[in-house]
Amino acid sequence: MYHNSNFLLPVFSLILIFFLLTPLYISAQNVELRDDLDDLHDGLPLTPERMFTRTLSEGSWMSVDVHPSGDWVVFDLLGDLYEVPIEGGEARRLTHGMAFDAQPRYSPDGERIVFTSDRGGSDNVWIISRDLADTVQVTDEVHPCFRSPAWTPDGEYIVVTRDSRCWFGGTGDLWIYHTTEGKGAPLVEDDGAHLVGAAFGPDDRRVWYARGEGNRPGEYQLVVYDRQSEESVTETFRDASRGAFRPTLSPNGRWLVYVTRHATQTGLRFRDLKSGDENWLAFPVQRDAQESGATRDVYPGMAFTPNSGELVATYGGKIWRIPIDGSDPLEIPFEAHVEIPMGPEVSFEYPISDASEFTVRQNRYATPSPEGDRLAFIALHRLYVADHLEGEARMVADLGSTKHHPTWSPDGEWIAFVTWCDHEGGHIYRVRANRSGEPERLTKQAALYEQPVWSPDGNRIVALRGPARVMREAWQWGGIQGGAQEFVWLPAEGGESTFIVRANGLRNPHFTYDPERIYASSREDGLISFGWDGTDRREHVKITDEPVPGFAQPRRASMILASPDGEQALGFMSPPQHDVGNIFVVTMPPPGEEASTVSVANTGQAGSIARRLTTLGGEFPAWSADGRKVHWSLGNAHFVYNLDETSRADKRDEAGEKLTYLP
């Protein structure tokens, strides 16, 4: 039986849910103040000052469960728990306050409800009595977070996904906790995988769950863990575009319902555990969360009625009773009187200047001239040249299109750069550095060009090229996928482009004093070089740092630039989260030696010297033409690091903060 429904996106942010649900109210009131707001903050640091009130008959991403009597349904809505008769009606609110309460499940005796809540400051497992007389905290941890709690059939234990890296999402093991004592213990561990959605049938020997290895469709499959033999068996083998998750067992042990995809839509799959036959129970329903961290599971919770004849689930904003005999679903209508306490309104005036002259907040792609006396950079997508660190910057080449990646000719007479215009595509131009004459277009074919660089003899320009289509379809410049697909070169005076080699992730083409080799780098390959025909590929050096917290592998430099003399390499280490990246200089292995991996994480070890140049961080690093200085930008400031002068100071630095010795 197939059932059509509205398509709703799962929403995890409380603020976003407000906007999604605003048009779904039955009656609405303005946000109003209440005298009892101080009693609603549940010990959280933010004191509520306003109340969001609505009467709702629909919701998004609601987890539901059926009372053992079959008379009631519990569900979560906007961070509170509600209970409604299975025939529908006015919902009774069970929890209230600023905390986000979710994923409720009735105890086998129907007297208690387990749920997750951040009322203590972080997500933990709680139990509330159905008569609201008592609330018990089961887990009490700060950094791990918990999702999808489930009772064992005897009602003595809770099995839940415990995620020690909840700020990243998408990982977690199954832990078991006694409802009144103990700190819990691992039940099923699988390093790096995401085990979620624990579910039991009528006995507590076998626990079903979904196992995923990433945030991609099809990663999840259903697994059964035998608590007696301690063996895990995979029970589904849905292909890479579908997946299987949110197992739900009937009380009589005969039926299994789980969630999967067909093409681009999600549905509920029904299996007879006795015969193994399967069919669709409801299709389509609402979108699943396979591509996300699944912080509220991959699909909302659902449950069978006690007689195993119906499944209660949510989709299309409604709660449904879905008969397993294939007849039409029945809606469980509800009216929930929502009162959401909120913090103080954040409203202030922020002045925005409309003056014709103002201070630019960020300079991009700053590149020193060969003589070192001038600086070319991009600000507000315009090309400027300034006397080095002093003097007034003057705009160059006002073409009406955005400009990027300026690069100087070896004689300092020209500046080449790339442009982009949505209707014309991109090109490579050059312009006289002294602003005499109009810009000259060098490329004949419109494309997405990036990172041009002049050859040491000044005769050719090397650049990355990709189809203009990928830029037009990209959601942002940094979000381009497959944009720079190949290295090409063209005559410095302009003309047809010549293919060199496929990029395969390599970027940042540049040269040393050797005009016969083109250097490039990538996070995976490190610094490599090749000839003008793309052959004779050589690996030179890789630069690593400490791992990002929660990951085993060390971070790798996202950009490596060989110095003009080829003796050193400049490494840019991208920020691990929201910090600014840092810039390092390391010694290159001598010509002819095998490529080495240099770690900038450890100090005090004998070997090659690596130096961290930045203290506050930096962006857009570049070598001076003589290789004795390193340039970078941070905001609208430009920095120059003199390697000769600082090396003398480093020798007197006994603390070892600037020198790092590496194996």
Q: Which residues pair with 404 in a beta bridge?
A: 418
CA distances 392 to 93, 313, 395, Å, are: 66, 67, 10
Average pLDDT for 16-22: 35
Average pLDDT for 194-210: 95
Whether the model clears a pTM of 0.75, i.e. scores above it, the answer is no
- pLDDT tens digit string along 473-507? 765 555 445 556 899 999 999 999 999 999 999 99
Lowest mean pLDDT among 26-40, 114-128, 376-390, 439-453: 26-40
Rg (CA), the chain: 31
Structure tokens at 481: 């996928």
Residues 6+ apart with CB under 8 A from 140: 120, 124
Q: Where does 343-485 show beta strands of DSSP type E?
A: 364-368, 374-379, 382-387, 394-396, 402-408, 414-421, 425-432, 440-441, 448-454, 460-466
- pLDDT tens digit string along 118-140? 988 889 999 999 999 999 999 99
Q: How confident is the model at residue 658 (pLDDT cuts 50, 70, 90)?
A: very low
Share of the chain above pLDDT 70, in %: 84
pLDDT, averaged across the chain: 85
- pLDDT tens digit string along 396-453? 877 888 999 999 999 999 999 999 998 889 999 999 998 888 999 999 999 999 999 9
Q: How confident is the model at residue 40 (pLDDT cuts 50, 70, 90)?
A: low
**Are the C-beta atoms of 123 and 145 separated by less than 8 Å?**
yes
Share of the chain above pLDDT 90, in %: 65
Residues 6+ apart with CB under 8 A from 326: 1
Is the model's pLDDT at 32 over the cut of 50? no
pLDDT, residue 179, reads 93
pLDDT, residue 331, reads 98
Q: Measured between alpha carbons, how far is 50 from 61 in angstroms, rounded to an integer?
A: 25
3-state DSSP assignment of residue 526: strand
3-state DSSP assignment of residue 407: strand
Is the model's pLDDT at 10 over the cut of 70? no
Structure tokens at 651: 């020798």
Element (H, E) at 648: helix 643-651
Q: Measured between alpha carbons, how far is 319 from 492 in angstroms, rounded to an integer?
A: 67
Please name the amino acid found at residue 287: R
Burial of 93 (0-12, 13-18, 19+ CB in 10 A): middle
Structure tokens at 157: 């234990």
pLDDT, residue 215, reads 66
Q: Measured between alpha carbons, how far is 78 from 340 in angstroms, rounded to an integer?
A: 8
Q: Measured between alpha carbons, how far is 216 from 451 in angstroms, rounded to an integer?
A: 32
Please name the amino acid found at residue 75: F
Structure tokens at 585: 């200089």
* DSSP summary character for residue 125: E
pLDDT, residue 663, reads 23
The closest alpha carbon to 317, from 334, 329, 305, belongs to 334
pLDDT, residue 554, reads 87
- pLDDT tens digit string along 237-263? 887 668 999 999 999 999 999 999 998
pLDDT, residue 14, reads 36
> Comparing 634 with 33, which gets the higher pLDDT?
634
The closest alpha carbon to 215, from 189, 235, 196, 234, belongs to 196
Q: How confident is the model at residue 353 (pLDDT cuts 50, 70, 90)?
A: confident
* φ, ψ of residue 220 in degrees (nearest 5): -85, 140
pLDDT, residue 390, reads 66
Is the model's pLDDT at 471 over the cut of 60? yes
Average pLDDT for 523-546: 94
* Residue position matching structure tokens 């990709």: 466
CA dihedral sign, ordered 494, 495, 500, 501: positive
Element (H, E) at 471: helix 468-473
Average pLDDT for 557-574: 94
pLDDT, residue 210, reads 96
Average pLDDT for 310-322: 97
Structure tokens at 84: 């409604």
3-state DSSP assignment of residue 239: coil
Average pLDDT for 54-70: 97
pLDDT, residue 460, reads 98
The closest alpha carbon to 104, from 364, 380, 285, 314, belongs to 314
Q: How confident is the model at residue 656 (pLDDT cuts 50, 70, 90)?
A: very low
pLDDT, residue 477, reads 54
Structure tokens at 297: 């599971």
Average pLDDT for 101-129: 95
